[in-house]
Chains A and B, each alone.
Chain A
């Protein structure tokens, strides 16, 4: 008799009904998590007159997408969001990989203090420092500029990602780095040539997460940008009030905002799942 290491699904029922119920449960889960997105996509494909009875009728059109793409503000919001997300990912990784490495490889007061600082700042709600940051960026002339949005985004990632990165480096045996140092590598050499390459899967996972977080971020963009650097999330939220009744356009914009995130996540999925398991 094989030994089951995992409890059976609904033991006591006959096998065929267990299988059916399991399949039904899986279907229910997939439905619950996919339905809102599918419904949004369906809405975006309906003509303006069909949007009020999405479940009936068979006309489908790409006109909503075409109309959205002629709106300069939306197009520039997409470009801005893509640019800021990419730059924020690059800068965040540069900053947090080294900080996570420090947390993982060194013990002692300096490391403990840095960890404590990061934990405290992770707890502080965004609004508590983004609200006054509005003034800081204005007085530095950074309000509504790329730099003024990019740097706070990089700053907000420091806490969580340093923490994740520490976990990743903790899972990597440091003896290779010691060996490299015995062979004449400097500390920096050991870090850059030995530790970073072995942490690459984790770093890729972090890159995917970072890109998604920035692309999806709302509060920073709402407070720190005006008309010159519109970001896609803010433009969409304004839509809900301004174009409240034109749900087909709303849905088309939202679907377009999903696409890049889906692509990034789809290609990065294996890194994210592998990275989370280390």
Chain B
């Protein structure tokens, strides 16, 4: 029924497709089903309730005015911060110097650190009583802050942790990109005496754009679903003021034991990021073709 080539293609992807079917597609279908039912974990009646969970999530002030703005703010700031820092580091390191290997190895450190461990480290450093940050602040005469129990400082620390974790990733990929750029345009600019800023603005940045865009898309999609560092740093607190979307779904499903509502939240978030993902993909495609 299939040609020899079709059979080969099918066999190449069959194991992957089967796994995805069982462990991604099927759960999503079951989750979609649960999101329409009264499915409390302690008393799963599984009665059809239509869109009422969706309505509950979308009219929940916590979701609309805290979780969604937090998630988008986090996504934009974390990607922008890591991109700017990563690009700056890549430009700085894009020259031969002694100790290059050492610096590169140190830059790899955050990539090996589990987000949970990173969150523990930062939490310890910003501990309000014994943390090194407050100790240093007090030593130079400033007042220590209870960093993790105020909304915006807690949010800032979550952001800082994420940027710390991901800047090296941007740096390494952008550095690889920089090193594969052709040399001739830069030599021409040097002969013409072009200023450094103009070289960056009109040569480096446009030529690096495809790499940058791919990095940003991958990272933005991942940033949207951030869970582990928030969970370990603040648990969504103080109150629920630093909750991100993944946390909201988790809290409803496993702490409030309402799987129906948790699933509805998970599906709403999934749909939002899917739209963003498709739009971003179009963008990549256009830039790659231009």
Chain A residues within CB distance 8 Å of chain B: 3-9, 11, 22, 25-26, 29-30, 32-34, 36-37, 39-40, 43, 51-55, 94-96, 98-99, 101-102, 106, 110-111, 114, 117, 119-133, 135-136, 151-152, 154-156, 158, 162, 187-188, 191, 212, 215-216, 218-219, 222-223, 233, 236-237, 240, 247, 250-251, 254, 257-258, 261-262, 264-266, 269, 272-273, 276-277
Contacts and interface: CB of A to CB of B under 8 A. Distances in A.
A128 B231 contact: no
B130 A53 contact: yes
A128 B12 contact: no
Contact of A123 (B122, B183, B277): B277
A28 to B, nearest CB: 10
Contact of A151 (B23, B190, B231): B23
A128 B19 contact: no
A34 B31 CA distance: 42
Contacts of B186: 4-7
A6 to B, nearest CB: 5
20 contacts: A33-B167, A34-B106, A36-B121, A37-B109, A39-B132, A40-B117, A119-B277, A123-B278, A124-B270, A127-B269, A128-B270, A129-B24, A158-B19, A212-B111, A219-B246, A236-B116, A240-B123, A240-B232, A258-B112, A272-B108
Given A7-B200, A152-B23, A126 B227 contact: yes
Given A34-B106, A155-B24, 14 more contacts: A4-B186, A33-B107, A37-B121, A52-B130, A53-B130, A55-B132, A127-B246, A131-B253, A131-B262, A233-B114, A236-B117, A236-B120, A237-B116, A237-B232
Contact of A119 (B9, B253, B266, B281): B281
- For the complex of A and B, list the 9 residue pairs with the smallest distance between their C-beta atoms, beginning with the closest: A132-B31, A123-B277, A125-B225, A216-B114, A155-B23, A218-B228, A128-B270, A102-B12, A128-B266
A40 B108 contact: no
- Size category of the binding interface on chain B: 35 or more
Contacts of A5: 183, 186-187, 190
A261 B266 contact: no
> Interface majority SS on B: helix, strand, loop or mixed?
helix
A262 B224 contact: no
B80 interface: no
Contacts of A106: 5, 9
Contacts of B199: 7
Contact of A233 (B116, B135, B183): B116
Contacts of B103: 26, 29-30
Nearest to B26: A136
B47 interface: no
Given A43-B124, A120-B274, A261 B114 contact: yes
B6 interface: yes
B196 interface: yes
A222 B274 CA distance: 24
Contacts of A8: 196
A97 B62 CA distance: 43
A155 B123 CA distance: 32
Among B24, B99, B115, B129, max chain A CB count under 10 A is at: B24
Contacts of A237: 116, 228, 231-232
A247 B24 contact: no
Nearest to A7: B196
Contacts of B116: 216, 218, 233, 236-237
Nearest to B8: A187
